[in-house]
Amino acid sequence: MLQVAKGVNYLHKNRVVHRDLKSHNILVMRMKCRDGKEFVCAKLADFGLSKTKETSTTFSNQTLNTGTTRWMAPELMGPQTSESQTSTSRSDEIKYPFKCDVYSFGMVCFEILTGEVPFQSTSSPNAVKRMVLDGKRPILPNDCPNYLKDLIQSCWKSDASIRPSFGDICVILKTLKWSLITKFQEI
C-alpha cells in the first residue's frame, strides 16, 4: 500500500492524475538484495487515461465516465440517477481532480486486504455505479485494524474535498509501518 501511495504521490506532485488506478495497473516484482533478502517492488502502469496540468491545482478538464467502474470515484460517474435521489444536472468541471485517485486507492487497499475485486457480487457496471452513488462501499474484513479501516473509509468519502491527499496517506502509512515494525521487534 505504501509503495503504491508513494507512486501516486509522485505523480500528483508532478501534476499528473492517473484516473485508472486499480490492481490491474500495478506491477509487482519480487526483488533480491545483495545480502539475499527479498522484497516486493510495486510500480504504477497504464497511463492511458492520465491527465496533466502544469499551471493549476484546479485542473478540471476531466471527462466523466472514464476509468474502470469498480474503482471509479463517484464524481467521475456523472449525474446521480438512483432510486433514492433524482437526477441532478452538473457541469463537467471536477473541482478536486487529484482526489479521484484517492478514492481508487481505497479500492486497491480493499483488494490487498481481501483478495477480492470491489463489488465482486455485482456484475453490471450500472449496478455498481448506482451503489457507489448511493454511498455504498465494499465491506472491509472484521480483522482489519481500525487505523487502516479509518484511512480506507476516508479515501472512500463521497465528498472529494474531504478525502486525504496522497502526502497525508503516505505519512499515515509510514507511521503505521514503523509502529508495526516496532511492535513486532518487541515480541
Q: What is the pLDDT of residues 106-144, one digit of tens each?
A: 999 999 999 999 998 877 888 999 999 999 999 999 999
Mean pLDDT computed over 38-45: 81
Higher pLDDT, 17 or 129: 129
- Distance separating the N- and C-terminal Cα atoms of the chain: 24
Count other Cβ atoms within 10 Å, centred on residue 103. 23
Indicate which CATH number applies to the domain containing 56: 1.10.510.10
What is the pTM (predicted TM-score) of this model? 0.77
Task: Quick: pLDDT tens for 135-172.
Answer: 999 999 999 989 999 999 999 999 999 999 999 999 99
Give residue 47's pLDDT.
53
Q: Rounded distance, CA 31 to CA 38, Å?
A: 6
How many structural domains comprise the chain? 1
46: pLDDT confidence band, cut at 50, 70 and 90? low
46 tagged catalytic: no
Of 20, 101, 159, 168, the catalytic one is 20
* Strand intervals (E) in the chain: 16-17, 26-32, 38-44, 51-52
Enclosing domain of residue 27: 2-186
